[in-house]
Amino acid sequence: MKNLSLSDITVGHWVQGGPISLDDWVGSVILIEVFQVNCPGCFIYALPRAVDLHQRYHDQGLVVMGLATAFEDYDKNTLENLQKLVTSGEVIGETYKALNQYGKLAEGKLPWKIPFPVGMDRVVEETEPVTDERVQRYAHEFLPEFEKYSDEQKLAVLQQVKHYLQQKSRKAVTFERFALQGTPSCIVFDRKAQLRDVSFGQIDYKQAMIEHLLVENAAD
């Protein structure tokens, strides 16, 4: 795991519960749920699970934070749409379509509120040129198993990465710094603010990990 710390979490704008100095959370177990507003899985699985963990373990020393990011669909994964989500429960794009299809909306809006602090990742214009060296670096950072691929697989992946980078107009700082593979993702720090887990997708071990970390170092 990279030598990353709590200070490497970068919030461009606080939308709820901020501004906050993350260092003030040292002494608590910290779960940062990274999502996009245009991400159905984030709202069907990850965010409801994060809300549940917040409700279960907040009094035992767990701090949960939502960090919205944007690595694609830059016209939808915006600060404005995040603000609408937090203030009124309004969802957009593919998120709206999926939640509406599964009957998870009330009068067209999210029927539950996010009860913990929410910020927007720092998103900046992408200015780095797309070179072969950058394509190789990106593939190695975001695909830990890249070197195990066959030559044919590597070539196909590098072509896909190059195409992605060529159309990528913006850079989400925290998302790229932690080499997240997509959304939903979660980043977990222990009570000593040491990075303990970075994971992508719907993970089954999250609650057990949180329970372990809450007990670990609790008496220190």
Residue ranges per domain, the chain?
A: 6-122+173-215, 127-168
Q: Which of 107, 119, 115, 95 is nearest to 45 (CA)?
A: 95
Q: Please tell me the pTM assigned to this model.
A: 0.86
Tokens of 71: 């690595």
- At 177 the pLDDT is 93
- At 55 the pLDDT is 96
Q: How far apart are CA 35 and CA 219, in angstroms?
A: 33
Walk along the chain (220 residues) in steps of 10 and give the mean pLDDT of each run: 85 94 95 97 95 96 97 93 97 96 95 96 89 88 85 90 84 93 94 93 84 81
**What superfamily would CATH give domain 6-122+173-215?**
Glutaredoxin (3.40.30.10)
- At 219 the pLDDT is 58
Peptide bond into 48 cis (omega under 30): no
- At 141 the pLDDT is 80
- At 103 the pLDDT is 95
- At 2 the pLDDT is 63
- Dump strand ranges (E) for the chain: 11-16, 29-35, 62-68, 118-121, 123-125, 170-172, 185-189, 195-200
- At 88 the pLDDT is 96
- At 170 the pLDDT is 87
- At 28 the pLDDT is 96
